[in-house]
């Protein structure tokens, strides 16, 4: 998982140089697939329940699972979330970043920064003895404290030999399983946040989830390992 995480991190560094006005989301997908193959690994999202690409590219009001397309051209001021999973020797690393395209508004940057800060505030509680809901509470408090909404329909998760494993890790406090964290757990924590109403709908492609009110969304995720001390982030 650490080796897969290194390639995830490398992809994000390369995307920083690639993402600019005028490129297509298919260009992003091509870079991801090329980098994964270069390292003898696999883009785990491709073919997952029929998903057709190596990365999810979600632009502006799209929250998650946007499908890359040569016809989707990024414009100055857009934001795009790139969510990807790399598999190596049967094990997974999952992460997401939201990028600004060219010069973006202060409001858009605030949204992106809040998603990232919510992640780091949340994983302060990713230590043995704490419970999953302690992560969820800190994420929710951070996001709502900045006036943004927390997406309810999509959540973080355990990860290992499968992309999605138990337990689910909501980004808000809700009823349900609340296991105590233990050393050796590997989990993907991923705040997904939006400007307005947190409700989403799925488009006719059966994948792309968008906010119902058109508010923009940001997504920040890493795969982490619970240790004796501070959590280890393997995709950073």
Return all residues near 15 (Cβ < 8 A) that are at least 6 apart: 28, 31, 82, 97, 99
- Which two structure tokens, joined as six digits, stand for 30? 């091509």
Which helix (H) or strand (E) segment holds residue 232: the answer is strand 232-233
pTM of structure: 0.95
Q: Please list the pLDDT of the chain residue by residue as tens digits (236 residues).
A: 999 999 999 999 999 999 999 999 999 999 999 999 999 999 999 999 999 999 999 999 999 999 999 999 999 999 999 999 999 999 999 999 999 999 999 999 999 999 999 999 999 999 999 999 999 999 999 999 999 999 999 999 999 999 999 999 999 999 988 999 999 999 999 999 999 999 999 999 999 999 999 999 999 999 999 999 999 999 99
How confident is the model at residue 30, as a pLDDT? 98
**C-alpha to C-alpha distance for 94 and 89, rounded to whole angstroms:** 15
| Partners of 165 in the β-ladder | 158
**C-alpha to C-alpha distance for 150 and 157, rounded to whole angstroms:** 16
Sign of CA dihedral 210, 215, 216, 217: negative
How confident is the model at residue 17, as a pLDDT? 96
> What's the burial of 52, exposed, middle or buried (CB within 10 Å: 0-12/13-18/19+)?
middle
**C-alpha to C-alpha distance for 134 and 69, rounded to whole angstroms:** 38
**C-alpha to C-alpha distance for 192 and 51, rounded to whole angstroms:** 20
User: Three-state DSSP class for 34?
Assistant: helix
């Amino acid at each position: 998982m650490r080796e897969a995480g290194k390639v995830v991190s490398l992809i994000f560094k390369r995307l920083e140089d690639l993402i600019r006005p005028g490129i297509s989301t298919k260009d992003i997908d091509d870079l991801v697939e090329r980098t994964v193959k270069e390292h003898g690994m696999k883009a785990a999202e491709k073919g997952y329940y029929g998903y057709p690409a190596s990365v999810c590219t979600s632009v502006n009001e799209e929250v998650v699972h946007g499908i890359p397309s040569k016809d989707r051209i990024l414009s100055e001021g857009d934001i795009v979330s790139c969510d990807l999973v790399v598999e190596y020797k049967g094990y997974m690393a999952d992460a997401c970043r939201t990028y600004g395209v060219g010069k973006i508004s202060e409001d858009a940057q605030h949204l992106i920064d809040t998603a990232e800060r919510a992640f780091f505030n949340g994983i302060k509680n990713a230590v043995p003895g704490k419970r999953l809901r302690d992560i969820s509470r800190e994420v929710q408090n951070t996001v709502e404290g900045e006036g943004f909404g927390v997406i309810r329909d999509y959540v973080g998760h355990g990860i290992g030999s499968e992309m999605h494993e138990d337990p689910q890790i909501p980004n808000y406090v809700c009823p349900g399983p609340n296991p105590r964290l233990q050393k050796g757990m590997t989990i993907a924590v991923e705040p997904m946040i939006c400007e307005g109403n947190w409700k989403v709908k799925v488009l006719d492609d059966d994948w792309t989830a968008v906010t119902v009110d058109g508010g923009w969304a940001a997504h920040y995720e890493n795969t982490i390992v619970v240790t004796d001390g501070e959590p280890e982030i393997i995709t950073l």
